[in-house]
Structure 1
């Protein structure tokens, strides 16, 4: 289904409700530059990391597309767990898992409060940016503490530049991308207003510093397009 969420005047801040869940896969493809490519990189490292008996979490799994793709290629007996606090997203995820016969555990959960098993891998796709900065670091600490030694955390985030002109140009570059995907100026401005104070991005350096402050020995970017980046942090 095509994303038409912001063709009408917004009445509330952005949330992952039924309307968004119904068009979310289309929204991702048209709103996140090179989304498929960043997901392929995530899949590659996830599949290399998981061994028999391994455990992987996808935090903010939305409609479970990534976990389904990993499940279809996984040749080991590992446990894949998707967590999300949007029941509308999880309803879409359950339907897709059933259609693809994917063996994935899905749970409606608060990722800040959830009791994690010891894991080999955590994934977070554009999820941290929706968590208030004051508690974002606490979650990353919890992720690090739940990982085995040399476990990895793969996370993708929208990023900012602290250079004013460059940051402005990065935003303009991104808006040009969205226009090429068929979004109107009106839709772009509507979504930007809806996300105001809901999505709070860090810079590339701030994300790396956060990971290292939270118990990871190494963190670097493995994919970036303008103001979108995929990071890998190694415990």
Structure 2
């Protein structure tokens, strides 16, 4: 379904309710630049560096786009966690329709330590920026703990720029991009208002620092387009 949620006046802050879930795949591919290409990069990188039968957890798996991409490697053991019941239902339906085995878990991301065992890779794709800033370091500490030795963490995030003038220009460029994807200026403004105090980005350096504080020694960026970046960190 086409994302037209913000073509009308907003009446509440953004949340992943049933209306968003119904249009999520259209929303995410039109709102995040090079979204599909980034998923392909994640698949390519993990396919090269992970061992056979690696266990992979996607935190905030939404409708399972990343996990379904990873299912091309049929020996991966795939797990998806999301706190939205509607997202899990949609993800399960998509996986079942494609005959793909994915273990879905309806749970809060902050409760990751309740999961059995450890993982060879954990992915947090455009999810961390929805976690309250004061809780992010604790979550990353838990993620580090749930990784096997030599495990990999992939973090995809929207980021801020330190310079206020540059940040304003970057926002203009991003909103122009969204207009090329078929969103009206009204829809763009409505969504920006709905996301205020819900999606709170860190700067690039702030993300690097909390990763280092969690214990990750090796961190690199493998993709960036203005205010979106993807990082890989090694335990």
Asked if 1:202 is matched to 2:205, the reply is no
> Which of 103, 106, 114 is the aligned partner of 1:105?
103
Could you tell me the TM-score, scaled by structure 1's length?
0.96
Moved more, 11-20 or 114-123: 114-123
String of CA shifts for 1:111-164, please: whole Å, max 9, x gaps.
Answer: 101323211000011100000111111111111111112111011000000101
Shift of residue 16 of structure 1? 0.3
Q: Partner of 1:67 in structure 2?
A: 67
Q: CA deviation at 1:52?
A: 3.1
Q: Match of 1:89, SS? A: helix
1:95 aligned residue: 93
- 2:218 is matched with 218
Range with greater deviation from structure 2 (13-22 or 36-45): 36-45
Instruction: Structure 2 unaligned segments of length 5 or more: list them.
Output: none
Cα deviation 1:70-119 (Å, max 9, x = unaligned): 11x2142x321000011111111111001111110001101101323211
- The aligned residue for residue 45 of structure 1 is 45
- RMSD over aligned CA atoms reads 1.0
Whole-angstrom distance in 1 between the partners of 2:126 and 2:120: 20
Shift of 1:208: 0.9
User: After the TM superposition, which residues 1-235 of structure 1 pair with which residues of structure 2 at under 5 Å, given as runs?
Assistant: 1-71=1-71, 73-76=72-75, 78-114=76-112, 115-116=114-115, 117-235=117-235
Q: Which segments of structure 1 move beyond 3 Å, counting only runs of 4 or more?
A: none
TM-score, scaled relative to structure 2: 0.96
Segment of structure 1 superposing worse, 101-110 or 115-124: 115-124
Contact map agreement 1:49 1:121 (CA 8 A) in 2: no
Please say if residues 40 and 69 of structure 2, whose CA atoms lie closer than 8 Å, have aligned partners that are also in contact.
Answer: no
Structure 1 gap ranges (5+): none
